[in-house]
Every structure is written in structure tokens, then in C-alpha cells.
Amino acid sequence: MITLLSKKLADFLCRKDIIDCENKEIYQYGYELLISDIIAFLLLTAAGILAHLIIETYVFYATIVLIRQFCGGFHASTYFKCNLTTLIIYALVMLMSQLLTEHDGVAGVNIILLGFYFVTAFAFAPVENKNKPLDAKKKIRARRMSFILGGIFSAASMGLLFVYERLSLVVSLTLSAVAMLMVIERYRNEEEFK
């Protein structure tokens, strides 16, 4: 449906002479990304409101959105599966953060989760998708950015430990989820090339 809607919008703009019809495919692609981002954002906002976890939800969203741009990782084959995956990961992060804050040793858990992200990023980042190949220059930039952003989020997560433990865990759990998704996609890529 998102693809169809984007195609119709690009067709309409082309018919009205607003865009160059030669570039219609690029506009369609842009709208497709934009619409799917808006839907995912609204879905997560609704989930956050229902769970009374608005701040945690937006921190989760900001972390995953910023870091995955550079790390890459698992992608679903359809928009429905994509939104479902987003909601499952969101639910797992929120649930785990709740469970872990009820126990001692949050700082230790945080360090392990962040360490897992860095080890995985060092080994795999950026994980390419067959629909979005990267040239050498972009790969270097994406790899560098996954470390820089990882460092910023890790510092924020460690700092938040003294202010709001759960939020700190949301950041570190999200980073480790991103790492896990890199491992899954890397494994899938290897299977495909076999």
C-alpha cells in the first residue's frame, strides 16, 4: 500500500509538471521512505502512550533511528513485517529494562550490553543490504559514525545511570538490539551468498 501510494503521488506530480518525469522513480522512493517513517513513528507513539512510557519510547526511537543509519542490519521483506519487528523489539527493550531495574548490578549489565555493541560494530559495521549497496567511501564513513554515535550513546547511557536507571537501560538495550540485528543480517547475507 505504501509503495502504491508513493507511486500515485509521484505520478500525480509528474502529470502536473511539478517534477521531472525522468526522476519519478527517485521521488517515489523518497515518499516511500517518508511514509513508512511516519507510520512507524505514529505506531511507536501510540505504543508509548498506551504503555505510559513516552520519554522511554522517544529515546528508543532516537537511538535506533540514528545508529541504524550507519550500522545497517536486519531488514524485513515487507512494510507489515517491518512494523511488526519494530514493535517486537520495542516491547522487548521496554520489558527487559523494567525487569533489570528491579535488580541490583544495573551498571554491570549496562557495561556488558554496551560492550556487546562495540564488539559487534567492530566486527561487522556497516552491514550492507542488497537493496542499498554502499561504495567504499560511504562504508568508511558509516563505520566511523557507528563508533562515534555508539560512543555518544554509551556516554549518555552511563551518565543516565545516576539520574534515571531505566532510561539508561533503554539506551544500552537498544544498542545491543541493533548489534543483534547486525549479526542476524550478516548471517543471512552469508547464507544467501553460499
Applying CB under 8 A, which residues contact another protein? Answer: 3, 9-10, 13, 16, 18-19, 23, 25-34, 36-37, 40, 64-65, 68-79, 81-83, 85-86, 125-129, 131-135, 138-139, 141-142
- Total residue length of the chain: 194
Nearest in space to 171 (alpha carbons), one of 187, 184, 159, 154: 154
What's the rounded Cα separation, in Å, for the pair 125 and 134? 12
Task: Tell me the closest approach of the beta carbon of residue 48 to another protein, in angstroms.
Answer: 15
Cell of 190: 552469508
Q: Which of 23/112 has CB closer to another protein?
A: 23
What's the rounded Cα separation, in Å, for the pair 151 and 49? 29
Q: Which of 100/178 has CB closer to another protein?
A: 178
Task: Tell me the closest approach of the beta carbon of residue 9 to another protein, in angstroms.
Answer: 7
Q: Which of 8/99 has CB closer to another protein?
A: 8
Classified as helix, coil or strand, 129 is strand
Task: Tell me the closest approach of the beta carbon of residue 119 to another protein, in angstroms.
Answer: 18
Supply the DSSP symbol for 177: H
Classified as helix, coil or strand, 73 is coil
Task: Tell me the closest approach of the beta carbon of residue 138 to another protein, in angstroms.
Answer: 6
Q: Which of 52/131 has CB closer to another protein?
A: 131
What's the rounded Cα separation, in Å, for the pair 61 and 66? 8
What's the rounded Cα separation, in Å, for the pair 91 and 141? 31
Q: Are 61 and 44 in contact (CB under 8 A)?
A: yes
Cell of 41: 513513528
Task: Tell me the closest approach of the beta carbon of residue 11 to another protein, in angstroms.
Answer: 12
Task: Tell me the closest approach of the beta carbon of residue 60 to another protein, in angstroms.
Answer: 11
Q: Which of 10/173 has CB closer to another protein?
A: 10
Q: Which of 114/121 has CB closer to another protein?
A: 121
Task: Give strand pairing partners of 72.
Answer: 127
